[in-house]
Amino acid sequence: MTSSTSLFRRLLWLLLATVLLIVVIGATTLRYSGSRVASDYEARVLATQVHAADILLAQGHDDQLASMGIEHSAAAPLAIRPVLPMLRNLQEELQAQLPDRQVRMQGRLRAFVWVSAAAPSRGWIGLSLPGFRAPLFRTAIVTAVLAGLLVLLIAAAYARSLTRPLKMLADAAGDVVSGGTVPPMPPRAAREFKELHAALTQAAAERQRSRRDRDLMLAALSHDLRTPLARMRLALEIAPPGDATLREGMEADIAAIDTLSGQFIDFVRDGTEEPVADVDLAAVLAELIATLARDRTQWLVQSPATLNVRGRPMALRRAMDNLIANARRHGAPPYRVELSQSAGTVRFAVADHGPGVPAALLPLLGEPFVRGNSARSDALGSGLGLASVRRVAMAHGGSLDLENQPGTGFLAVLTLKASG
């Protein structure tokens, strides 16, 4: 798996690399401009001018020095150590060309090189160095241009690495809304883009699942609700007036329809319409156990006095109630309920001592309209109870785990994020 870094770190490394390359290019350019080869050439030119000045001084033509750009001074100039490496190299090379003479540098903005006059002449010969300003200017221009091109190329490559994933996600947005899939991201995409890609992929999967669940729900409504209604219609046609048995049957069928409708509504309402608040799961569990009238003694409850989480109160209550009702309907006593908190998570577990579910159905359990016993035909079993719990768990960033416990029954565990 290719490791990824954040955009901030990428930008930081980009700036550091750019600055380093600019420094390297500038140093290389300056070194080339002030290399020994260039200094040697300039020293030879200056040495030639000094020899020409020596001849003129020896012949007494001092007045002709000014026309050649050469100065003559009787006083010794103040020596200054050159700052630029190229000037220091030039002084050393010129001193090597004129070993029996003194060579001094003077001036900063306008550099002068002074060489002591050859005997029998006296004084100092001054030569201006105007040619150094142009190379320095050219060096600065070349450095800036090369650095700008380099930054432009790196910035263009970096911008493309940002815009390419964004354009892919933007192009895929319409498909995600319509239920399509998200194309894969480039392997070296930034971590934020991979996280966005994962979120869009999950949203697309949820969209597809919601559409599939809706279709299944419409089919189930037309199938499961039709059966008790047909029995009620037939019973009303053939039963004599005032039949108590008929009334009891109709009441049972009405109760079945009401239960089915409630399960459908619970599945559709996953709690996202509720505001988030602090929920004391321990208090909710105590209320649910208190409603178990006759079989209350068959429940072993382990719970702290209080256990608060941030969530949607009614949705969490329905989820806990569904797990308890599922154990009562399909399991066998004794029942065990455990509410605990550890490592930043809250765990609500419900276990029973029933037969469990077939191993082949266990991976599918929790999907809409999947029943733990496929042979069961009672109208109260729609297969939406555990599916509703799973939707509530996902809406709260949690999960629902279901498993058979060999010899001890069935276990359902709702895991949520702890508050704080």
The DSSP bridge pattern shows strands 112-116 and 124-128 to be antiparallel
**In this structure, what token pair is assigned to residue 192?**
């934020």
User: Quick check: 416 pLDDT over 90?
Assistant: yes
Q: Which residue has the higher pLDDT, 186 or 31?
A: 186
Structure tokens of 341?
A: 């908190």
198 pLDDT higher than 90: no
* Confidence grade of residue 349 (pLDDT, cut at 50, 70, 90): very high
Domains and CATH numbers, the chain: 34-128 (3.30.450.300), 274-417 (3.30.565.10)
Q: What does DSSP say about strands 112-116 and 299-302: parallel, antiparallel, or unpaired? A: unpaired
The span from the CA of 250 to the CA of 255, in Å, is 8
Whole-number Cα distances in Å, 4 to 7, 158, 168, 179, 321 = 10, 15, 18, 29, 43
Q: What is the mean pLDDT of residues 238-248?
A: 66
State the pLDDT at residue 1.
42
What pLDDT, on a 0 to 100 scale, did the predictor assign at position 145?
Answer: 73
Mean pLDDT of all residues in 202-223? 68
Q: What is the mean pLDDT of the chain?
A: 76
230 neighbors 222 (Cβ within 8 angstroms): no
Q: Phi-psi bin for 279: left (phi > 0), alpha (psi -120 to 50), beta?
A: beta
Q: How confident is the model at residue 345 (pLDDT cuts 50, 70, 90)?
A: very high
Q: Examine the pLDDT at 378 and tell me if it is beyond 50.
A: no
Q: Which residue has the higher pLDDT, 214 or 114?
A: 114
pLDDT of residue 89: 79
In a 13 Å sphere around the CA of 59, the CA atoms on its Cβ side amount to 10
pLDDT value at 36 more than 70:
no
- Distance, CA of 102 to CA of 108 (rounded, Å): 20
Of 30-39, 276-285, 310-319, 369-378, the range with the lowest mean pLDDT is 369-378
What is the percentage of the chain residues whose pLDDT exceeds 70? 64
- Are the CB atoms for 23 and 74 separated by under 8 Å? no
